[in-house]
């Protein structure tokens, strides 16, 4: 293994880090909002709305992300005239926006399940007690349900964030040059896959390690009184 | 050119693509099953290492699971595909075979999926082993069971029982990961590396579901039809496996008290 080549590759690959992070964070941020909306839809008493959310989650969790990316980027190209007419073609023509859309929809589906689990974990006694105090609607959600659900859901959501950072690598298949895309380019130029793998792998491990620490820190801040072992919220 | 309707495109036989798509689904399933079995092998070895007394073995297994779970699967597939081909070529050159020899996409893909899923399976197997009450193993030893007999009659069945839900999740991951094998074929056509014979080999013999959809989309200029069909076939695969694993779980826990 050639240390100079390894170093050069590492530096070249660092050029892809901004795109990787940008895609990961924008899709996670928009996806989280969508996930919360989906989770609330899944709990609606009006069943048709719940069915829509359920089937969305079923389809996006049941198929590979790569297929979803291809469906959006290549597949929707079939409807170019219609999209042109609606003035949406600029969006679906761009690999960046298509990748962002696919990643967002995907993480929204997985996130919805996590949020739903968090909401389900709120003990009904807490809600009853809050109602007895006269809280209802938004106040109830903001002061009782959301904090408890957030505590419960954060560890699982942390996993989802790591998965999303890894998932951004798939956008390299639709010509976006993030870290994996650059790695593939260097491999096909030099055929030195081992060194490139080590350099690219190191970058992902560093990012994921930093994220894990950040999430752990957030967990500490949100639930300082709970350690990991006694996670389920106790009811006294 | 008049665009064909969905049902015209999805006919059985040389006019339509239904037979190709179904065949590709079977191959996707084969890639996933072989990859999962490789993963079971690597996972068992790494779990044994993690549970063993040797510190070195534990350290190596820790590095394996940390790295392979922290790095994108696509990167691992590239490593196996291009790195594997480089290794095979140098062995071939040593044996006097000239030129570049490619590792078949099927082998590189299943090995890569196996290595990645093995890292996840390690934790499931380790957790399942640790869930066995230690008293049971002590009792078995007191009865004179040891080595293989202990593994086969006491440890094995219980690891299977406790590990079943986790393995079900990993199987779903593997099934979806198997779509990445398409990229190895795809990227080669796109980047025009001198692997011409291999590309033909891959296209004629190993087209997985996504790759097949891509080929059909290119030749009919109706990409949406084929990708949405791939979506539907994947949904059938994942739904069927959910059902099968649920059955397997009831079977594996048939002797247990339900709480």
pLDDT band at B250 (very low <50, low <70, confident <90, very high): confident
**Domain covering A3-230: architecture:** Orthogonal Bundle (1.10)
What is the reported pLDDT for B195?
45
Nearest CA to A94 out of A175, A20, A23, A182 is that of A175
Of B9-23, B138-152, B245-259, where does mean pLDDT reach its minimum?
A: B9-23
Sorted by where each begins, the domain ranges of chain B are 31-206
pLDDT band at A214 (very low <50, low <70, confident <90, very high): very high
Q: At what angle do helices A146-167 and A95-120 cross, to 10 degrees?
A: 150
Neighboring chain B residues of A193 at a CB cutoff of 8 Å:
78-79, 81-83, 86
Euclidean distance between CA atoms B231 and B18, whole angstroms: 14
Instruction: Write down the residue that tokens 């996409």 correspond to.
Output: B105
Residue B200 pLDDT more than 50? no
Euclidean distance between CA atoms A176 and A168, whole angstroms: 10
Q: List, as one string, the DSSP characters of B171-214.
A: HHHHHHHGGGHHHHHHHHHHHT-S-HHHHHHHHHH---HHHHHH
Residue B190 pLDDT more than 50? no
Sorted by where each begins, the domain ranges of chain A are 3-230
What average pLDDT does this structure show over B95-106? Answer: 72
Chain segment B111-128, per-residue pLDDT in tens: 999 999 999 999 999 999
Nearest CA to A146 out of A175, A126, A163 is that of A126
Euclidean distance between CA atoms B128 and B155, whole angstroms: 10
Of A61-75, A185-199, B94-108, where does mean pLDDT reach its minimum?
A: B94-108
Phi, psi (deg, nearest 5) at residue A144: -115, -60
Euclidean distance between CA atoms B172 and B27, whole angstroms: 16
Contact B210 A183 (CB under 8 A): no
Contact A166 B71 (CB under 8 A): yes
What is the reported pLDDT for B151?
87
Q: List, as one string, the DSSP characters of B93-159.
A: HHTT--S--PPPHHHHHHHHHHHHHHHHHHHHHHHHHHHS-HHHHHHHHHTT--HHHHIIIIIHHHH
Superfamily classification of domain B31-206: MetI-like (1.10.3720.10)
Length reported for chain A: 236
Nearest CA to B228 out of B238, B216, B213 is that of B213
What average pLDDT does this structure show over A122-129? Answer: 91
pTM: 0.87
Q: Cβ of A75 under 8 Å from any chain B Cβ?
A: yes
Of A35-39, A218-222, B229-233, where does mean pLDDT reach its minimum?
A: A218-222
What is the reported pLDDT for A8?
92
pLDDT band at B191 (very low <50, low <70, confident <90, very high): very low
What average pLDDT does this structure show over A135-149? Answer: 89
What average pLDDT does this structure show over A206-223? Answer: 90
C-beta of residue B213 within 8 angstroms of C-beta of residue B233: no
Neighboring chain B residues of A196 at a CB cutoff of 8 Å:
78
Nearest CA to B142 out of B152, B154, B131 is that of B154
Length reported for chain B: 259
Neighboring chain B residues of A194 at a CB cutoff of 8 Å:
79, 83
Q: Which residue among B78, B79, B223 places its CB closest to the CB of A77? A: B223
Euclidean distance between CA atoms B229 and B213, whole angstroms: 8
Of A174-183, B25-34, B104-113, where does mean pLDDT reach its minimum?
A: B104-113
Averaged pLDDT of chain A: 90
What is the reported pLDDT for B84?
82
Phi, psi (deg, nearest 5) at residue B99: 85, -175
Q: Which residue has the higher pLDDT, B195 or A37?
A: A37
Averaged pLDDT of chain B: 83
Nearest residue of chain B to residue A169 (CA atoms): B72
Chain segment B201-239, per-residue pLDDT in tens: 444 444 788 888 888 888 888 899 999 999 999 999 999
Contact B82 A191 (CB under 8 A): yes
Q: Which residue among A59, A74, A166 places its CB closest to the CB of B217? A: A74
Chain segment B32-78, per-residue pLDDT in tens: 999 999 999 999 999 999 998 899 999 999 999 999 999 999 999 98
What average pLDDT does this structure show over A148-176? Answer: 92
């Amino acid at each position: 293994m050639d240390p100079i080549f390894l170093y050069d590759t590492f530096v070249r690959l660092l050029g892809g880090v901004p795109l990787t992070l940008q895609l990961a964070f924008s899709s996670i941020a928009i996806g989280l909002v969508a996930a919360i909306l989906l989770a609330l839809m899944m709990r609606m008493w009006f069943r048709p709305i719940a069915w829509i959310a359920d089937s969305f989650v079923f389809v996006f969790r049941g198929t590979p992300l790569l297929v979803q990316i291809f469906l959006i980027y290549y597949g929707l190209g079939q409807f170019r005239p219609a999209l042109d007419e609606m003035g949406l073609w600029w969006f679906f023509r761009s690999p960046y926006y298509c990748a962002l859309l696919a990643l967002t929809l995907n993480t929204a589906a997985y996130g919805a399940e996590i949020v739903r689990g968090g909401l389900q974990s709120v003990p009904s006694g807490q809600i009853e007690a809050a109602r007895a105090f006269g809280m209802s609607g938004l106040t109830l959600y903001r002061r009782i349900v959301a904090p408890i659900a957030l505590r419960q859901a954060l560890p699982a959501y942390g996993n989802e964030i790591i998965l999303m950072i890894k998932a951004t690598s798939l956008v390299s298949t639709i010509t976006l040059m993030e870290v994996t895309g650059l790695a593939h380019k260097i491999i096909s130029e030099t055929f030195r896959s081992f060194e490139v793998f080590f350099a690219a792998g190191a970058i992902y491990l560093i990012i994921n390690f930093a994220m894990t620490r950040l999430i752990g820190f957030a967990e500490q801040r949100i639930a300082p009184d709970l350690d990991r072992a006694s996670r389920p919220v106790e009811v006294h | 050119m008049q665009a064909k309707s969905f049902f015209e495109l999805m006919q059985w036989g040389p006019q339509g693509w239904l037979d190709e798509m179904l065949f590709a689904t079977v191959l996707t399933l084969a890639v996933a099953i072989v990859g999962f079995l490789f993963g079971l092998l690597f996972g068992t070895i790494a779990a044994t290492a993690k549970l063993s007394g040797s510190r070195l073995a534990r350290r190596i297994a820790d590095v394996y699971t940390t790295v392979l779970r922290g790095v994108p699967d696509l990167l691992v597939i590239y490593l196996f595909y291009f790195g594997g081909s480089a290794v095979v070529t140098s062995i071939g050159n040593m044996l006097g075979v000239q030129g570049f020899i490619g590792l078949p996409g099927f082998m590189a893909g299943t090995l890569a999926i196996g290595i990645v899923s093995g890292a996840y399976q390690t934790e499931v197997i380790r957790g399942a082993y640790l869930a066995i009450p230690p008293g049971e193993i002590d009792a078995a030893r007191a009865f004179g069971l040891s080595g293989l007999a202990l593994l086969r009659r006491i440890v094995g069945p219980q690891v299977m029982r406790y590990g079943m839900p986790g393995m079900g999740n990993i199987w779903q991951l593997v099934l979806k990961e198997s779509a990445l094998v398409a990229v190895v074929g795809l990227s080669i056509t796109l980047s025009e590396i001198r692997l011409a014979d291999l590309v033909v080999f891959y296209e004629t013999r190993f087209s997985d579901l996504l790759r097949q959809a891509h080929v059909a989309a290119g030749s009919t200029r109706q990409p949406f039809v084929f990708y949405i069909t791939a979506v539907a076939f994947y949904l059938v695969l994942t739904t069927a496996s959910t059902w099968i694993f649920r059955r397997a779980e009831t079977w594996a826990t048939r002797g247990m008290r339900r709480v």
